[in-house]
Copies of this chain bind each other. A is one copy, B any other.
Amino acid sequence: MQLSREQMLGAYRQMKVIREFEERLHVEIQKGEIAGFTHLYSGQEAVAVGVCEQLTDGDYIISTHRGHGHCIAKGCDVKGMMREIYGSAEGLCKGKGGSMHIADVDKGMLGANGIVGAGAPIAVGAAISAKLDGQGRVSVAFSGDGACNQGTTFEAMNLAVVVKAPCIFLFENNHYSEHTGVDYAVATSGDIASRAEAFGMKVWRGNGSDFFAVTEVMREVLEYVRAGNGPAAVELDTERFFGHFEGDPQRYRGPGELDRIRAERDCLEAFRTRVTEAKLLEGADLDQVDAEVMQMIEASVAEARSAPRPTAADVLTDVYISY
């Protein structure tokens, strides 16, 4: 798939925004600035961006507890997200949802989700709706390698095939669910795609640390699904650079593992090498994006810190009734 210069710069920017958003959160959380449980997406950026760059606002995605990357890639307002994670009254969800519940339905982003496996059926519903509308729109259910063991995920795949819903089950295999290895928890020695295949779906596999590989896979998948062939599944191999949640001691990692994946499987580095070596973009182009992104993240943190806080009265809004 031939990407224009603009498309490449745009994709890189999105990946960089996600990376810096997360790296910065990691720092702020350690400083005690942010409450609650936060799951960072650093390392997996090529998946979210490789998928979402080919979607429009009319397509749907549903995300997981590790949702920041998907939200950003699907076009949620980054500052609004940062305010949300800080719990501001002007956060994207008014501070009511927090990190695990960022949504923007107008952008087709049907929500991060704190319940592992809950997203897939919801994505099928959005796909059913899209199919009825008949405009070739699709719905993508992001799931982890852990989520693929939840009954809801299987039910959703079966239902999608039965009703030929334009739904894409996008499995991000980052090798861990919390502290547990995928080879243990996914009974087929960690092979997710074959299980999806057994539901009668066409499946794709790919390197989730390579933006161009994801892009190519998704081009095929989207062509297939938009054409009305029913659902499809994709398994992408990727890495998470931080712990399961912030505070995770990560004793389950092998020696040097974190250094190795940062060195060998960094999708931003891979992108830079690829495009500069192929002379598609200059290093300076990317440096400029980097600088702009850093500034934007800095600004969004500064702004989130001083954004209006919710008051007790806000607890009682957004309900249909108060008791």
A-side residues, CB < 8 A to B, are: 149-155, 157-158, 161-162, 184-189, 194-195, 197-200
Contacts and interface: CB of A to CB of B under 8 A. Distances in A.
A157 B186 CA distance: 11
Interface centre among A150, A154, A184, A185 (most CB of B within 10 A): A154
A195 B197 CA distance: 9
Contact of A158 (B149, B158, B194, B200): B149
21 contacts: A149-B158, A150-B151, A151-B151, A151-B152, A151-B153, A151-B154, A151-B155, A154-B155, A157-B187, A158-B186, A158-B187, A161-B187, A161-B188, A162-B184, A162-B187, A187-B199, A188-B198, A188-B199, A194-B198, A195-B198, A197-B198
A251 to B, nearest CB: 21
A198 B200 contact: no
Contacts of A199: 187-188, 195
Contacts of A162: 184-185, 187
Contacts of A151: 150-155
Contacts of A187: 157-158, 161-162, 199-200
A158 B153 CA distance: 13
A155 B184 CA distance: 14
Given A158-B187, A189-B200, 10 more contacts: A150-B155, A151-B151, A151-B152, A157-B187, A161-B187, A161-B188, A187-B199, A187-B200, A188-B199, A195-B198
A contact patch SS: helix
Contacts of A197: 198
- Copies of this chain, whole number: 2
A163 to B, nearest CB: 9
Contacts of A200: 187-189
A184 B151 CA distance: 20
A155 B149 contact: yes
A199 B149 CA distance: 10
A214 to B, nearest CB: 24
A199 B194 CA distance: 9
Interface centre among A155, A161, A187 (most CB of B within 10 A): A187
A178 to B, nearest CB: 15
Listed from nearest, the 4 A-B pairs whose CB atoms lie closest are A151-B151, A198-B198, A161-B187, A154-B154
Interface centre among A157, A158, A184, A197 (most CB of B within 10 A): A158
A230 to B, nearest CB: 9
A84 B266 CA distance: 65
A42 to B, nearest CB: 29
Contacts of A184: 162
A157 to B, nearest CB: 8
Contacts of A161: 187-188
A121 to B, nearest CB: 9
A107 B152 CA distance: 33
